[in-house]
Amino acid sequence: MARPAATATTPTSAPGSSQRRLVRRRRQRAARGFTLIELMIVVALIAVAAGIVSLSLRDPASARLETEAQRLSALLESARAESRVSGAAVHWLPLDVQADADFRFVTVAGGTTRSLPMPTRWLEPAVRAEVIGAKSVQLGPEPLIGTQRIVLRLADRSLVLATDGLGPFAVTVDETRP
């Protein structure tokens, strides 16, 4: 079978052929740039990536201290509810460095003091706590318990856990620090 001969195309000088070339060149130049939507999508992706990176570079000591504060807040509110139900005063006592406990919850009823079956250790062993203006935190049995503040420390970081006496314990801004 014979192959057909290849035909060559030659430029024509027919009227209008030069305009077609100009239109084709303009289309090629316009297709080289980016549209505004494409640029906005790229900027949005870069912003999301930067946000994810900044969250992953968080200080681990601060994160552990915040976890301890949230846990202690939940434990304090649980003990506060226990105090209201039982009608006996419950106190949270931060303890000095000891082998058996970091803190404890005690109930005082009828002149006798007993420990409540609640956690007594920090999740992070280096955490230290201090009650501002008292030796312990009183958690009830009255609905209003008075303003109380606890400072939690881990290395060079600190958080203040406080209540106004009516609301739950929550992390607050420490006014004593600049």
| Per-residue pLDDT reduced to its tens digit, 62-92 | 888 899 999 999 999 999 988 888 888 899 9
pLDDT confidence bin for 149, thresholds 50/70/90:
very high
Query: Strand 89-94 vs strand 137-138: parallel, antiparallel, or unpaired?
Result: antiparallel
Q: For residue 1, is it within any domain?
A: no
- Across the range 114-141, mean pLDDT stands at 89
Q: How far apart are CA 152 and CA 161, in angstroms?
A: 8
* 153 part of a folded domain: yes
Angle value at C-alpha 21, between 18 and 23, nearest 5 degrees: 110
What domain range includes position 81?
A: 60-172
* Residue 21 forms part of a structural domain: no
Please give the tally of structural domains in the chain.
1
The reported pTM is: 0.65
Position 97 in a domain: yes
* Peptide bond before residue 141 is cis, with ω within 30 degrees of 0: yes
12 falls within a domain = no
pLDDT band at 31 (very low <50, low <70, confident <90, very high): low
Q: Where are the strands (E) in the chain, listed by range? A: 89-94, 103-109, 112-115, 128-131, 137-138, 148-154, 157-163, 170-172
Residue 100 sits in a domain whose CATH number is 3.55.40.10
Confidence of residue 95 (pLDDT cuts 50, 70, 90): confident
Percent of the chain scoring above 70 in pLDDT: 78
Q: Is 42 a domain residue?
A: no
Could you tell me if residue 124 is inside a domain? yes
Residue 46 domain flag: no
Residues in the chain: 178
Mean pLDDT along residues 117-144: 89
